[in-house]
Amino acid sequence: MHGPFLIWLVAGVFVSMDAHIYVHIPFCLSKCRYCAFSSVVSKDIPEERYISALLKEAALCRERGIFPSGLIETLYIGGGTPTLVTPSNIKRLIDGLRGIWSFSESAEVSIEANPETLDADYVIELKKAGITRVSMGVQTFSSRLLSYLGRIHTPERSIQSFRYLREAGFDNINIDLIFGIPIEKLEELDADLDWIEMLEPEHVSAYLLEHEPGTWFADVTPCDEDSVIGFFSKIEDRLRGMGFIHYEISNYARPGFKCRHNLAYWKYRPYLGLGASAVSCVREGTRWRNIKDPYEYMVRIEKNISPVEYVDNFSADEILFEKRFLSLRTAQGID
C-alpha cells in the first residue's frame, strides 16, 4: 500500500480499553545463528534519522485516530538490539511518544538489551530516560554454547551487565534463556539455572531453540524429544523451586512481575507497532505489518507514504479462534 496513511482510518475501535505500543529497532552488531527476526547488521546506525521516523509515524497514527482516548499501559522497545541506540535518543523516543499519547502512571516501559552493549554509565542514563524494565538476552552462561549460538558476549559480561542494572536501580529485570541447543548437556542447563538462582532476576523467559528456515540452524538436526522433555522438566522444577510462577508457555515471573506487554498480546488487547517490520492490531479483525527494510521505511515516512506492507482481515470465526488460541498460551487459559 503506497498511498497516504489510509490504513489508519480503521482505528479508534478499542477506545475504552488499555492500549499498548511496540517499537522495533532492527539494527544489530552481528546476526546470531538462530535469529529469524527482522534485523540489519550495521556498525553505522542512522539512529537520529530512525528515531525521527518513528516519532513521525507515531504522530501520523495519532492524527488518524489511533488510541484517541485509551491510556498507554505498556511500551516495549525491541529489536534487533535497541541498546545500540544512545540513551539520549531512547529518551527522545520515550518523551516524544509521551507527548503524542497519554501514558498510565504505572506504565511498563521495557527495552531489550544485549549484555555486550551495557556498561555502568549507559544503564544509569537508560534509567533516567524512563525505562522501567530491561529484558537481557543472556541465552546461556556457557561460553561453549554462546559460541555455538553465534553470540558475541561472554558469560562474564552477562553477569557484570546484570549487576550494572541492579546498581542503577532497576528492580524489574528479565533474563532470556535458550534451551534445547543440539550440543547442550543437562548439566550446562543446570549451571544456567544456578546463575538464575544467584542473580535473582524478577522474570525469566525460557525458549526452546527453533530451527527456522533461513538461519544457520535450519539444516542442523534438532534435539530429540526426550532431551527436550528433560530440559523443560529441569527448568520447570528449578524455577518453581525458586518461587517463580509459570504464567505463559515460555515465561516465568516472581509475584507481581509478569510482563504486562506480553500478556496484552495473549489477552488480545489492541497494540500499535512502530518501525520497520512492526505489526499492529488496533482494530479487532484487522492486522497489518510495516515493510522490513529500515532504510525504505525511513524514506516512506519522510515522504508521507504509508510503510504498511500488507493487511490481514479476519472473519468473526477466525477472531474467536485466535482469541482462544492465544489464551491457551497462558496458565489462566480460556475465560
Which set of grid coordinates corresponds to residue 23? 517499537
Closest C-alpha among 130, 35, 26 to residue 74: 130
Answer whether residue 96 is part of any domain: yes
Answer whether residue 44 is part of any domain: yes
The tens-digit pLDDT sequence of the chain (335 residues) is: 344 344 444 444 444 468 999 999 999 987 777 776 667 887 789 999 999 999 999 999 999 889 887 789 999 999 999 999 999 999 999 999 999 999 999 999 999 999 999 999 999 999 999 999 999 999 999 999 999 998 889 999 999 999 999 999 999 999 999 999 999 999 999 999 999 999 999 999 999 998 878 777 888 889 999 999 999 999 999 999 999 999 999 999 999 999 999 999 888 788 999 999 999 988 777 889 999 999 999 999 999 999 999 887 766 666 565 656 555 565 565 55
List, in order, residues 6 or more apart from 148 with CB less than 8 Å away. Answer: 33, 181, 183
Answer whether residue 311 is part of any domain: yes
Answer whether residue 212 is part of any domain: yes
Answer whether residue 335 is part of any domain: no
Answer whether residue 32 is part of any domain: yes
Answer whether residue 332 is part of any domain: no
Residue ranges in the chain assigned as alpha helix (H): 47-63, 87-100, 120-129, 143-149, 155-167, 186-199, 225-241, 260-266, 294-302, 316-327
Answer whether residue 203 is part of any domain: yes
| Domain that includes residue 288, residue range | 6-327
Q: What total of structural domains would you count in the chain? A: 1
CATH of the domain at 246: 3.80.30.20
